[in-house]
Amino acid sequence: MGKKKRKKTKGKSFKIAFLITLVITLFAGALALTLMMFFGRGTGIELESVEKPAEITTVEKEDIPAKPMGREPENKGAAVVEEVQDAEKEADDGFDESGCIRNENGRILEKKQETAGDEATLLFAGDILFDDSYAVMGAMRQRGGIRNCFSEETLREMEEADIFMLNNEFTYTNRGEPTPEKQFTFRAKPENAALLHELGVDIVSLANNHAYDYGEISLLDSLATLEGIDMPYVGAGRNLAEASETVYFHAGNQKIAFISGTQIERMTPSDTKGATENSPGVFRCMTEQEIYMKVAEAKENSDFVVVYIHWGTEKTDQLDWLQPETAKALAESGADLIIGDHAHVLQPLANVDGVPTIYSLGNYWFNSGTVNTCLVKVTLKDGEMQSFRFLPALQSNCYTKLLSGAEKESVLAYMRSISGTVTIDGEGYVTF
């Protein structure tokens, strides 16, 4: 037991001695360091020490660019910022990923249309019909598709145009009842609307006397159908504000406005309802004055204003009393181009106070009858018309083709005979 006790006492003495030695060593070291610093400052001797870090300030992450080892970084910041700004600008402008501005129903109100250069080519045709109860659609089914109902040259003109517009002379619906006592009522299956894309159509007019043929529901179905296939339309809507809405295309560095109205029918009340503040219908412009205000507004907001109007008397090339009067008022309001339809035959070309006007394009692909028709081709640059070309065509046996040779010259001669205020050359170019 004694050995264990002595051993424990010896170990404790050793630890005490070690601690005393350690304290003395540390004290001596601290004293030596203090003396060195004191004498170093006094004699100007530089001492090696850890450099005090500069004062740290708060910075944003993007203020500290990464720098690759061995070379200067590429200056991509400006390009990235520019891309972001462009995207933000487009979003601010309201255009979606497809280059369109839409209303709450998905209707296209503005559209960016790509062109090959600074010029934009506009193409116009008259009435079409997609009603399966009539001859044109029967012929289409027999021929294996709608493209077999037009000549290759005609299809090429439709497809190559930057903006192709025509009149949708029927409703898209499977519902409703035909308007009582109306001689002709037209409706197409909603799926037939896809034929417009097959023909290269870019915008349709609904301002006509068949837009309401199967009642209010047929018009509403037509609107929804066209919205569903991204087909811009003018001339009808769920209320007057929609029916009178201008649609704009941005093409060839120009903003082009499209407005459509109808003066048909003329009885009161009309079978085809005019839109009101709270009810659906077409945009009427017989005695109503709103169309002139819309044209003036469009002129302020665009480079070129097109008015596509349903007017006149059927099956005659003679103008009625209201057409020249309306054309003059449209010109005074700011229209740059007036395109007419409804008569189902060709009517005169005219210079109306400096505004190129064709009073009726005629049928385009509407029935089995044989009738002269046309395409009107207009080129624009910097908001100014560069050319206006009348392309003679023929609708016959549910087939439409551009004419050549003697047939072409015959139609041009006819148009010269009824269009006294313009000059038409052998290729159909018109001087107003």
All structural domains of the chain, each given as residue ranges with its CATH number in brackets, are 94-431 (3.60.21.10)
Does the pLDDT of residue 55 top 70, yes or no? no
- Check residue 66 and give its pLDDT: 40
Mean pLDDT of 39-50: 39
Does the pLDDT of residue 71 top 50, yes or no? no
Q: For residue 232, is the peptide bond before it cis, meaning its omega torsion is within 30 degrees of 0?
A: no
At residue 85 the predicted structure's pLDDT band, cuts being 50, 70 and 90, is low
At residue 93 the predicted structure's pLDDT band, cuts being 50, 70 and 90, is confident
- Check residue 265 and give its pLDDT: 87
For 353, phi then psi, to 5°, come to 50, 40
Does the pLDDT of residue 69 top 50, yes or no? no
- Check residue 26 and give its pLDDT: 59
Counting residues of the chain whose pLDDT is more than 70, the rounded percentage is 79
- Check residue 41 and give its pLDDT: 44
Angstrom distances, CA of residue 338 to CA of 135, 260, 329 = 30, 10, 11
> Which letter does DSSP use for residue 197 in this model?
H
Mean residue pLDDT across the chain:
86
pLDDT digits (tens, 9 = 90+) for 408-425: 999 999 999 999 989 999
- Check residue 20 and give its pLDDT: 53
pLDDT digits (tens, 9 = 90+) for 378-406: 999 999 999 999 999 999 999 999 999 99
pLDDT digits (tens, 9 = 90+) for 195-251: 999 999 999 999 999 999 999 999 999 999 999 999 999 999 999 999 999 999 999
Mean pLDDT of 171-198: 97
- Check residue 269 and give its pLDDT: 84
At residue 268 the predicted structure's pLDDT band, cuts being 50, 70 and 90, is confident
Does the pLDDT of residue 38 top 50, yes or no? no
* pTM, full prediction: 0.80
Q: For residue 407, is the peptide bond before it cis, meaning its omega torsion is within 30 degrees of 0?
A: no
- Check residue 155 and give its pLDDT: 98
For residue 304, give both structure tokens.
């070129």
d(CA 154, CA 391): 10
Closest among 100, 114, 305, 128 to 204, alpha carbons compared:
128
- Check residue 22 and give its pLDDT: 54
